[in-house]
Chain A
Amino acid sequence: MNPSHDVNQDHDISQNHDDAHVHDSSAALAVETMSLTKLYRKKAAVSHLDLRVREGAIYGFIGRNGAGKSTTLKMLCGLAKPASGDIRLFGRPAGDAVAARRIGCLIESAGLYPNMTARQNAVMKAKCIGLTDEKCIDRILADTGLAHAGSKKVKRFSMGMKQRLGVALALLGNPDLLILDEPINGLDPEGVREIRQLILRLNQEGKTFLISSHILGELSKISTHYGIIKEGTLVEQISAEELDQLCKDYFRIEVDDARRALPLILEHAPKLSPEVLDAHTIRLYGLQEGAWLNQLLIENHVQVYSSGFHHMDLEDYFLARMDGGQTTGKEGTENV
């Protein structure tokens, strides 16, 4: 990856990526699990998981520590054996050699020989795949910012460099699906940006990503779909558009009589989109500033109990889902 990459280029990629976010429900599935279950000492680490990742998606797989993310990814990569259930990769069984060839993975820490250089580790993986052209190794090392690692042995690498090399190894063989478990762990901000750009660029080229990360803010910048796992069970699968809709900013106002308040509001701001929740509560989408609204209602003898803007991002949404509650979001209350 070019360290002097232009920030505007990053923006352009993101912009193009947003265009590509359009949920294509007709796309074939890159990953499909049917009632996938994994037991550790009779305790279910993953329970009846039905995961669906469409081709071309960047699927953010999120969950708390010990929720079963890595176990699921390991099963997809053939490193752990499911107790029951089925895995299909590009429509083929998980054990299929052709399907396995289409996958690149980075699970937990990058598996690297410490006494070898970055290039030697990459050559090892290339030989394992059966690649004979070593030019692709240099290109991938350059893409991941390791072109100048030279004769430095992996044992002397920083955590971030190891992680980059792990991503580089996953990219070898031009896989169609990349399964990355915490790919930005240990990376500095520049490294995070570089990996993000790389993921977005490869996604533009048609590659599918299944990424697990705790850094939800970073994940929300690239993901087209999300899967939330809790205690081994898939709580929700949602597209970025659906999440945007759920997380849209709104102004929530609680009054003594919503039937009287609503016509007043719409008379003064007809472009707002209202949503009446009950006899006292209204949500208003598209409002930029709320003070005048409070004043308007009070002047017209409508009692305002509470009001405020609500904002929710992926993190809030995730935490709300983890708590099992409603996804009501963060509240900036302007009590009157």
Chain B
Amino acid sequence: MFNMLRMDFYRLIRSKTIYVCLILLVTMCFLCYGMVWLAVTPEGRAAAERMGMTPFLEVADDPDSPALGQYDSLSMFREIGMDGGAYTSILGVFMALFVCMDFHSGFIKNTLSLHRERRKYIGGKILLAGLTNLCVLLLLWCVSLLMNLLFGNMLPLAEPGDTLFYLTWAWLNTTAFLSLMVLIASFTRSGSASVTAALLLGSGLVQMLLAKFTGLFGASGWLEYTLYYNLTYGPSRYTGTGDLKTYAVSLLFLTACSGAAAAALSKRDV
């Protein structure tokens, strides 16, 4: 399994996709901080007016818009890409393409003829997903802090304990989502199907539509047990054991998806 992990890392650092994902996430971070700077700081507002962004400023001045005072570095980080599902969608697309390339290229024949226990192949991919996710998440967090610094420390820093609590469960949650992508990619072995699934599931579109539909029959409670819901509405700080629910949901998804992916790969010939 670790040999496969070494092999996958070798490919990962030579893959363009991961760099495209990183550029997208960093750009998103820069744009979000830039918008906030334009909307709330005197220098930014002056610059926005010079650029003719009056409608934008009107929206920013709307009393219903959240005030900057409600934000700290952690809540801003969540707003950038985590809560809306952009982060999971982008990394999900990456993971789907990464796994499907094994099938598309046929290289999986080389791998599975050596490592005949297919659960080890899935284990290697989940490990890769977890480690990549950890690196990208930490990098994005660092970029977010750097942006805050660049834009003149607009936002106060969140408590380290809260940050650690959030980043831990967010990492587990997004890793579970990536394991779901591994499952879908192993099952469909199709790049386009897996990418579509990553976008629909990562953005929460499918979950929200299904919840609306089941809500007609008074059964939308299941939405609270989805990865998307937990990532979007999960706690930013630990207040009690109830906050650990998000860990439980993530672990359950991670275990179930890993097992199902191993079963899906074992059932079919390569």
Is this pair of chains taken from one and the same complex? yes
Q: Within the assembled complex, what's the spacing in Å between the Cα atoms of A121 and B266? A: 25
- Nearest neighbor of A111 in chain B, beta-carbon distance: B106
Say whether B11 contacts A124, CB under 8 Å: yes
Say whether B11 contacts A79, CB under 8 Å: no
CB distance from B11 to the nearest CB of A (A): 6
B117 — which chain A residues lie within 8 A by C-beta?
95
Say whether A112 contacts B7, CB under 8 Å: no
Q: A120-B14, A130-B3 are in contact. Are A169 and B110 (CB under 8 A)?
A: yes
Give the interface centre of B10, B105, B117, B266 by most chain A CB atoms within 10 Å: B105
Is B109 part of the contact surface with A, judged by Cβ < 8 Å? yes
B111 — which chain A residues lie within 8 A by C-beta?
128
Say whether A95 contacts B105, CB under 8 Å: no
Is A109 part of the contact surface with B, judged by Cβ < 8 Å? yes
Say whether A79 contacts B6, CB under 8 Å: no
| B101-136 near A? 1/0 per residue, CB < 8 Å | 100011111111111110000000000000000000
Is A7 part of the contact surface with B, judged by Cβ < 8 Å? no
CB distance from A159 to the nearest CB of B (A): 14
Is B269 part of the contact surface with A, judged by Cβ < 8 Å? yes
B-contacting 9-mer, from A98-106, A229-237, A250-258, A318-326: A98-106
Give the total of B residues in contact with A, Cβ under 8 Å. Answer: 26
Q: Within the assembled complex, what's the spacing in Å between the Cα atoms of A121 and B15? A: 13
- Nearest neighbor of A124 in chain B, beta-carbon distance: B7
B10 — which chain A residues lie within 8 A by C-beta?
120, 123-124, 127
- Nearest neighbor of A95 in chain B, beta-carbon distance: B116
Q: A77-B113, A124-B11 are in contact. Are A111 and B3 (CB under 8 A)?
A: no
- Nearest neighbor of A173 in chain B, beta-carbon distance: B114
| B1-44 near A? 1/0 per residue, CB < 8 Å | 00110110011001110000000000000000000000000000
CB distance from A49 to the nearest CB of B (A): 16
Say whether B112 contacts A79, CB under 8 Å: yes
Say whether B107 contacts A124, CB under 8 Å: yes
Is A11 part of the contact surface with B, judged by Cβ < 8 Å? no
Is B209 part of the contact surface with A, judged by Cβ < 8 Å? no
B7 — which chain A residues lie within 8 A by C-beta?
124-125, 127-128
Q: A120-B14, A123-B10, A124-B11 are in contact. Are A94 and B116 (CB under 8 A)?
A: yes
Say whether A103 contacts B110, CB under 8 Å: no
Say whether A100 contacts B114, CB under 8 Å: yes
Say whether A113 contacts B113, CB under 8 Å: no
Is B270 part of the contact surface with A, judged by Cβ < 8 Å? yes
Q: Within the assembled complex, what's the spacing in Å between the Cα atoms of A291 and B112? A: 61
Q: Which of B14, B105, B106, B113 contacts A78 (CB 8 A)?
A: B113
Say whether A111 contacts B116, CB under 8 Å: no
Q: Within the assembled complex, what's the spacing in Å between the Cα atoms of A124 and B16? A: 17
Q: A81-B269, A124-B10 are in contact. Are A111 and B115 (CB under 8 A)?
A: no
Is A74 part of the contact surface with B, judged by Cβ < 8 Å? yes
Say whether A78 contacts B3, CB under 8 Å: no
Is A269 part of the contact surface with B, judged by Cβ < 8 Å? no
Q: Within the assembled complex, what's the spacing in Å between the Cα atoms of A128 and B4? A: 5
B108 — which chain A residues lie within 8 A by C-beta?
111
Q: A110-B106, A120-B14, A127-B10 are in contact. Are A100 and B113 (CB under 8 A)?
A: yes
CB distance from B145 to the nearest CB of A (A): 34
Q: Top 4 closest A-B pairs, CB basis?
A: A111-B106, A80-B269, A127-B7, A78-B116
The 18 listed contacts between A and B (C-beta, < 8 Å) are A77-B109, A77-B113, A80-B269, A81-B266, A97-B115, A97-B116, A109-B106, A110-B106, A111-B108, A111-B110, A112-B105, A114-B105, A115-B16, A124-B10, A125-B110, A127-B3, A127-B7, A128-B114
Known: A123-B10, A125-B7; 18 extra A-B contacts, CB below 8 A, are A77-B109, A77-B113, A80-B270, A94-B116, A97-B115, A101-B114, A105-B113, A107-B113, A111-B105, A112-B105, A112-B106, A120-B14, A121-B107, A124-B11, A124-B107, A124-B110, A128-B110, A128-B114
**What is A's interface to B at a CB cutoff of 8 Å?**
74, 77-81, 94-95, 97, 100-101, 103, 105, 107-116, 120-121, 123-125, 127-130, 169
**What is B's interface to A at a CB cutoff of 8 Å?**
3-4, 6-7, 10-11, 14-16, 101, 105-117, 266, 269-270
